[in-house]
Chain A
Amino acid sequence: MAGDRKPLGLFRNLNAKIAALPMIATVLVVFIGCTLWTVVYSFTSSRSLPMLNFVGIDQYTRLFKSSRWMVSVENIAIYGCLSLVFSIVVGFILAVFMDQKIRFENTFRTIFLYPFALSFIVTGLVWQWILNPLGIEKVVRDLGFESFNLPLLTDRSLVIYAIVIAGLWQGTGLVMALMLAGLRNIDEEIWKAARVDGIPTWKTYVFVIIPMMRPVFVTTLVLIATGIVKLYDLVVAMTNGGPGISSEVPAKYVYDFMFAWANLGQGLAASTVMLTTVLIILIPWAMLEFGGRKGRAG
């Protein structure tokens, strides 16, 4: 692909480099530069303005002593575990059922996937309305169950589950679509062989198909997991962290400290912890996925 002559290294393929300039700038300035900036300044005592007076790990000790942060971490752990398990299990089961050569497959797919087109704000507000006292609670009470309570949005220990319900409603369709694509990639021969051997369908799924779909599961897992860390809009729309601080999440902690309370150091330390968490998820996956077969990026 070299030019006619042998020009200087930098000018070889110049157009491509010009075309790639926005990408190079984004990578260097935003993804590398901004991330490093945040990590460095998380070790300072910056308040409303960033300043380079280093205080060691002070911000981090304060962070992990803060009940607000600990509640946020606990919430994201609950939300994360439940939405990982349920969206993968439910998504897979729905995909298996969708794969039974059913009629109206497109209709079902459209229905399962439409919430994914909606924003977290819309999702949060709808579920806020359904779960409020005038919603399902009132319906059940009107049916004659006078003492029925569904305090999902008002009970401090339950509110995170309300967010899980809304999050699952929004995201499970995507998992289903990914799993269905994975199932469709399985060679029909596998099914024929399993049938010849007389293996029951469910056993074929559990012992043959699922192990074969390992890459799909891993990718889905990584996708959901990195999405979980970013959880923000849904909480803002649905509960705004309340009641009290009982549905706070890390991303909201970062935003509040940076932009609402002008305590930059705290916000940056919290965001660095978020980054570390993502790296802990991402690096083993990247090594598994790309470590073995070099040269095939993407």
Chain B
Amino acid sequence: MAEATAIQTRSHAHTEPWGAKPKRMFAPSTIMVYGVLIVAALYYLLPLYVMVMTSLKGMPEIRLGNIFAPPVEVTFEPWVKAWSQACTGLYCEGIRTGFWNSVKITFPSVIASILIASVNGYALSNWKFRGSEVFFTILLFGAFIPYQVMLYPLVIITRELGIFGTLTGVVVIHTIFGMPILTLLFRNYFASLPPELFKAARVDGAGFWRIFFQIMLPMSLPIFVVAIILQVTGIWNDFLFGVIFAGTPNFPMTVQLNNIVNSVQGVKEYNVNMAATILTGAVPLLIYFLSGRYFVRGIAAGAVKG
């Protein structure tokens, strides 16, 4: 019965553009579809809701009350404490150190990786040379190798270069591991541009860099936006590279957050922990909510064609 209605709804939608009658809104299948989607949406929203609510309560209320209940008395103290006083080990400077470290790591990493990958993708799509496809294929396969396999040799290499445990070190590592996905993204994008443009520029005598800067770049703003979103969220969310390559004073926000929340000393302050957690998730979330379709495009481009 439900299926039959669904088919009818579909056929109406296709053969008669003026669409289904309003009462179809309440057909059993429609109710089921919305029911399932709403239940699923609630499940997805629940942790965010719990995070926010917990971070706005005082500790006594948390111990007595229920995690789903909104705060009786709203307090922003946990937020202040999480930002500027929460402790990791002996240092009680809050998560702001981690925040600024993450900023210092993310900015140069995003710029370096996108610069390198965009030129690289352009070379691979328009200026193929002997072996370029082979390198590209290995690069893509490299994206699937577990990082753990390459970690220790990279520690040795960065140590030999004198950049182990520094911001430069972690930026280099992010640039390296961002390369497969970004190169793929840019290569596919440049390959999708009309080849006549490139040929015309060649006929007019423009060279490699000139075509890149004057023809390709002005047309590739969307893909740069996608790449920036992909990289900012990816690098901001990284934990493994930060904990290994950045060095203790440069620990990114994720590492510091984990140290604050999972430290064994002291009384657990769940409200402060949740405030710190929201603060850490805020940057990628903000990017996600602001960018919408670009975000989806980024992960889809990365995923489907990988």
Contact = CB atoms under 8 A, between A and B. Distances in A.
Most B C-beta atoms less than 10 A away, residue of A122, A191, A237, A297: A122
Interface string A106-147: 101111111111111110011111100011101100100000
Contacts of B240: 232-233, 255
Contacts of B34: 102
B304 A195 contact: no
Contact of B300 (A101, A115, A177): A177
A16 B129 contact: yes
Contact of B280 (A31, A119, A191): A119
A24 B133 CA distance: 11
Interface stretch (B80-88, B103-111, B257-265): B257-265
A115 B49 CA distance: 12
Given A109-B296, A125-B273, A268-B152, A119 B120 contact: no
Interface size class of B (residues with CB under 8 A): 35 or more
A274 B146 contact: yes
A29 B157 contact: yes
Most B C-beta atoms less than 10 A away, residue of A138, A201, A270, A286: A201
B221 interface: no
Contacts of A216: 304
A100 B6 contact: yes
Interface stretch (B71-79, B162-170, B181-189): B181-189
A93 to B, nearest CB: 8
Nearest to B112: A22
Interface stretch (A33-41, A67-75, A78-86): A33-41
Given A16-B129, A125-B273, A297-B137, A117 B287 contact: yes
B67 A139 contact: yes
B306 interface: yes
A248 to B, nearest CB: 14
A118 B284 contact: yes
Contacts of A222: 144
Interface residues of A, number: 105
Interface string B171-184: 00001100100011
B288 A117 contact: yes
A275 B176 contact: no
A23 B136 contact: yes
Contacts of B305: 298
Given A254-B148, A259-B244, A223 B303 contact: yes
A258 B151 contact: yes
Contacts of A126: 47, 50-51, 274, 277
A57 interface: no
A26 to B, nearest CB: 5
B303 A174 contact: yes
B111 to A, nearest CB: 14
Interface in B134-151: 135-142, 144-151
